[in-house]
A and B are shown apart, each in its own frame.
Chain A
């Protein structure tokens, strides 16, 4: 009998707690939208900037009295690791309340998750990953992207660097699809423009010691060390180049355009060049508006290089939901048809793979601890000089 009494009391107390705790109150219908990006790990500054920007879009929409729905942003962390990204994507996809999402800064993660979104029929807009295959490697209608791909980026990079007179390169890339993609497109374009690749080195994303690879590169003596990868190992390679007295120019990709790279390398960042699709935030059509609104919310960290894209992606999602109602299929169909939609990053037009066409590539160089547009830098003016120039 004692047993039974115990059981009863346990069940009862649980029920009481259950009833007490569930008291819903809401005026507008609540709609959940998702955001996934790297919130921890070496690329987290970009992820947090993206998160804040998406959050800003949601806040602005919720503040609008004419909006039909009240939006709730579900934020998940992909740690810039493919498997964690798939877990997060599964979580979003499996939650039927989530209607659409802005997802992924890291290409390695984004390419891994496309199947998952397709499986669950969750429409997403990629806000930072640049690997072409994310949109072009499949026919999934769920996947869209507001930023450009690495093809244009590397084409510009190769033309620009050969134009400066550099002749020989050594390539270090991480062995995810992101690094491999950069290696492929950059090597292709640089040879086309008359440059020469002396050696190519694949490294893992959490490698600590690069002295062996860099010592080899030192014996090859290239004009430029091209690095296709993300901030954390970019920082290590730049620092260890200095340790070994390797005096080649350091050239990166959009993966190192972040405050974290400059903080991590300190004075060694000076004169590092990198390339990114899209314009400098202040130069964007709606850049000023975006930066003003962002500043008003008092986020602890800045929007970083891809914040504007994240904001544009989330705004596009919310606008679409307002039009179609909270239904995944309808939202997906509406997104597929987006043409000439006005946004802070300019007009958004998705082609039949869901890819926005952004032709503009910005060239950056670090000057006095800041990513500066090449055209406005003292390097372009000739008052400062890159390595080996």
Chain B
């Protein structure tokens, strides 16, 4: 195959993988501290993207047009709002159900997801229609044979990488990260060590939801379009990625995200029949991986306590 084309496919796959990984890290963080699946995560991403869009429209209305400034404000506003939303979800919806069966939490967050994206559909002006997301980054492009590198795509990829490294440093090198890891490992002991459990849970949810907001804006900038239903598939893919990687493990989630993107790209490229089967292929492989490694590629190291 043409080397330029191959590069193009790899670039497409990397962009997808980055978004999936960012979503998956959120899932895995939530699961780490609270052993819950927060299924509204994908829709938090949607709300984040729409917050970003509204901010950028607001800024345009105010007459602020300096592109770098707009980008920074859009990202910041979406991340801050979604972090707050995430903490709110943890405090008032997830924590109260802490002692209830896991199924209840799962359902609650699924329903919350519906509430979020339906709210966007019904209450955002023209929310049922796809919305155009403004191109805030440079649209310059460099061509190398069949390979076209757009400056905005490259910037997004680098930013995503920086965020993931940032999360890694936060979890592994800071006191906060230590506390999060402690809570994830053993809630009781962590409490005994004087860690404010509730606070750590809220902070973790805030971080995860902030990541989702980042991924949402990234999605908007990359595809130049957002819609109220975008979170559902992204959420499920992110969740699958987290599960495949092994819940509770950040590196597993990142690997899972890129793996899923790779599966999709390979599916589109290499399957002899219609490329439309790529998602069927990807989900099929996920189910197979689950049958092979029931707790994911990097499994949790816990034994059941009866």
Contact = CB atoms under 8 A, between A and B. Distances in A.
Interface of A: 40-42, 44-45, 175, 201-204, 206-209, 211-213, 215-216, 218-219, 232, 235-236, 239-240, 242-245, 260, 263-266
Nearest to B150: A243
Given A219-B146, A264-B132, A212 B5 contact: no
A34 B16 CA distance: 44
| Smallest CB-CB A-B distances: 3 pairs | A245-B148, A212-B268, A40-B128
A266 B132 contact: yes
Interface residues of B, number: 34
Interface of B: 2, 5, 8-9, 12, 16, 121, 128-130, 132, 139, 141, 143, 146, 148, 150, 153, 222-225, 227, 229-230, 233, 264-265, 268-269, 274-276, 278
Given A215-B5, A244-B8, A264-B132, A208 B230 contact: yes
The interface centre, meaning the residue of A208, A219, A265 with most chain B CB atoms within 10 A of its CB, is A208
Contacts of A40: 121, 128
A262 B167 CA distance: 39
Contacts of A219: 2, 5, 146
Given A218-B146, A263-B132, A236 B269 contact: no
A219 B1 CA distance: 10
Given A202-B276, A239-B225, A245-B143, A215 B130 contact: no
Residue from A40, A207, A211, A242 with most neighbouring chain B CB atoms (10 Å): A211
Given A175-B276, A243-B224, 6 more contacts: A42-B227, A204-B276, A212-B269, A218-B5, A219-B5, A245-B143
Contacts, number: 75
Contact of B130 (A212, A218, A232, A242): A232
Contacts of A235: 130, 132, 225
Nearest to A45: B129
A218 B269 CA distance: 14
A264 B224 CA distance: 9
Contacts of A264: 130, 132, 225
A207 B278 CA distance: 11
9 contacts: A40-B121, A41-B128, A208-B233, A212-B268, A235-B132, A242-B139, A264-B130, A264-B132, A266-B132
A263 B126 CA distance: 12
A207 B9 CA distance: 18
Nearest to A267: B135
Contact of A213 (B121, B148, B275): B275
A309 B161 CA distance: 52
